[in-house]
Structure 1
Amino acid sequence: MDEPQLAGTGHVAVWVAVGAAPRDEPLSLDQRARRFHRARVAAHRVGRQLVEAYSSCAPDRQAWERDGRGRPLVVFPGGLHVSLSHGEAVVAAAVSWDAPVGVDVERLRPLADRGALARTALSVSERQAVDALPEALRDAQVLRFWTRKEAVAKALGTGLATHLRGIVTTAHGAVTALPDPCGEITAWSLADLAAGDGVVASVAVRAPGVRVVTRTLALPADEG
């Protein structure tokens, strides 16, 4: 595992753990709740392992809390910014030394409510970019736009209270606009992550010129 040697100012480390794609079958509310809980626990496990890799602080010595908006905070060891995300049999954790960080990961899937999601979260130019694609590619592009917005919102600390339509990127990932609370575009780093087939993920840091170091792991079947 070489990436800890690259850690420090100017870098953000992201680990993405991917499991087998879930079977397309109806789930009860109780089954969905159990799956959500397992994925959340898995995200925290990966986050603690990531912090250990870059700080040499064992998971049982780390102290984590949550801020007023529910964001994870590493109290000990100090000086680290973290973000966690989980989706369908996939979790992600990010750690930054420079500034607040946000990560979001999604399993590619058909979107039954694509139109409603696009109207709620996408800017006019992003909706036009989606509409310009063949039908078979539109769901994936909406999810790519969504992960970028979620990553920025997490780094900003406002979550879904953020003006998501004000976070505007091109189909290829260039940032063209951010809401006023974000400040200047040049003060941010945003990147799509290579997380394997069937998965889209993005990371955002409130610092310019940040290099992203990504590692993909296997997620055990009982943690997805």
Structure 2
Amino acid sequence: MIATHAQTLANVAEHLRDDEIHVWQLDYRPQHGREPLRSVLGVYLGIAAEHVTLVDGEHGRPALADVHDPSLGFNWSHSGNHALIAVGRGVTPGIDLEQLRVRPRALEIARRYFCNDETTALTALPAATRDAVFLELWTAKEAVLKALGRGIAFGLDRLSIVSTTDGLTLQRLEGDDATAWQLQRLAVDTTLVAALAWRGDVRRIRLGRLASGD
């Protein structure tokens, strides 16, 4: 529930440019359901949250009903008590968020679901850094698949991600031109790993934080 900084949200939303994507970080509780998402989208649409109608796509991705502005694209992700909401015009963003924690089965999962080059890169890493890189690859893959409107059933091995100190790169995407995609790691919190993906030109990412109440 957005309790403070509503004026800041309204000011920022009003000035959403066609070459931007706005990303909002907020506290989240499962009992809130999609209410925080509707609250944010309502500000961008200029209507009350209760008038925001969402529909689910074939693979579960939420979208705005046809009665709303068709140019506004969004996606959201939540993990634990945190959520991220991405909003842009003329774009279909995908965003994913995970809490940074020990993953004792990271290599096992990678060998089963990731590409060989990704698994090889993870195996070569020191154990102390492997979990963070694994989660970064995972969130990046999820972000791309969500931007596609697909889930992990599409196949995590059908796309390949390279993670370096300079950033994330979509190396391969089966059935599509990987060079047409943008992929960004999001430095939202030291305890979180997050990625944002979209197909199209480079855009400026504007990060914001919303205070939340119970």
TM-score by length of 1: 0.80
C-alpha spacing 1:138/1:175, structure 2 compared with 1 (3 Å) = same
Query: Does the Cα contact within 8 Å between 2:93 and 2:147 map onto a contact in 1?
Result: yes
Compare 65-74 and 110-119 and name the one that shifted more: 110-119
Alignment of 1:135-174 (within 5 A): 135-172=127-164, 173-174=167-168
C-alpha spacing 1:156/1:176, structure 2 compared with 1 (3 Å) = closer
Q: Give the unaligned 5+ runs of structure 2.
A: 1-7
Q: Give the unaligned 5+ runs of structure 1.
A: 20-34
Q: Alignment partner for residue 215 of structure 1, among 201, 208, 214?
A: 208
Q: What amino acid is the match of 1:52?
A: G
Q: Alignment partner for residue 13 of structure 1, among 19, 22, 42?
A: 22
1:52 and 2:61 aligned: no
Q: What amino acid is the match of 2:25?
A: V
Query: Does the Cα contact within 8 Å between 2:95 and 2:196 map onto a contact in 1?
Result: yes
C-alpha spacing 1:111/1:219, structure 2 compared with 1 (3 Å) = farther
Compare 142-151 and 107-116 and name the one that shifted more: 107-116
Q: Give, in whole Å, the separation in 2 of the partners of 1:144 and 1:218.
A: 26
Q: Give, in whole Å, the separation in 1 of the partners of 2:138 and 2:113.
A: 7
1:199 and 2:189 aligned: no
Who is 1:65 aligned against?
55
Q: Give, in whole Å, the separation in 2 of the partners of 1:103 and 1:48.
A: 17
Who is 2:116 aligned against?
124
Name the % identity.
29
Query: Does the Cα contact within 8 Å between 1:90 and 1:219 map onto a contact in 2?
Result: no
Q: What amino acid is the match of 2:138?
A: W
Shift of 1:129: 2.5
Compare 98-107 and 79-88 and name the one that shifted more: 79-88
Q: Give, in whole Å, the separation in 2 of the partners of 1:84 and 1:190.
A: 16
C-alpha spacing 1:51/1:123, structure 2 compared with 1 (3 Å) = same
SS in 1 for 2:91: coil
Q: What amino acid is the match of 1:16?
A: Q
Shift of 1:6: 4.5
Who is 1:106 aligned against?
98
SS in 2 for 1:178: strand
Q: Give, in whole Å, the separation in 1 of the partners of 2:211 and 2:192.
A: 13
SS in 1 for 2:121: helix
The structure in which a higher percent of residues are helix is 1
Q: What amino acid is the match of 2:31?
A: R
C-alpha spacing 1:82/1:136, structure 2 compared with 1 (3 Å) = same
1:185 and 2:175 aligned: no
TM-score by length of 2: 0.83
> Aligned residues, how many?
201
The structure in which a higher percent of residues are strand is 2
Shift of 1:167: 2.1
Query: Does the Cα contact within 8 Å between 2:96 and 2:196 map onto a contact in 1?
Result: yes
C-alpha spacing 1:196/1:218, structure 2 compared with 1 (3 Å) = farther
Shift of 1:66: 0.9
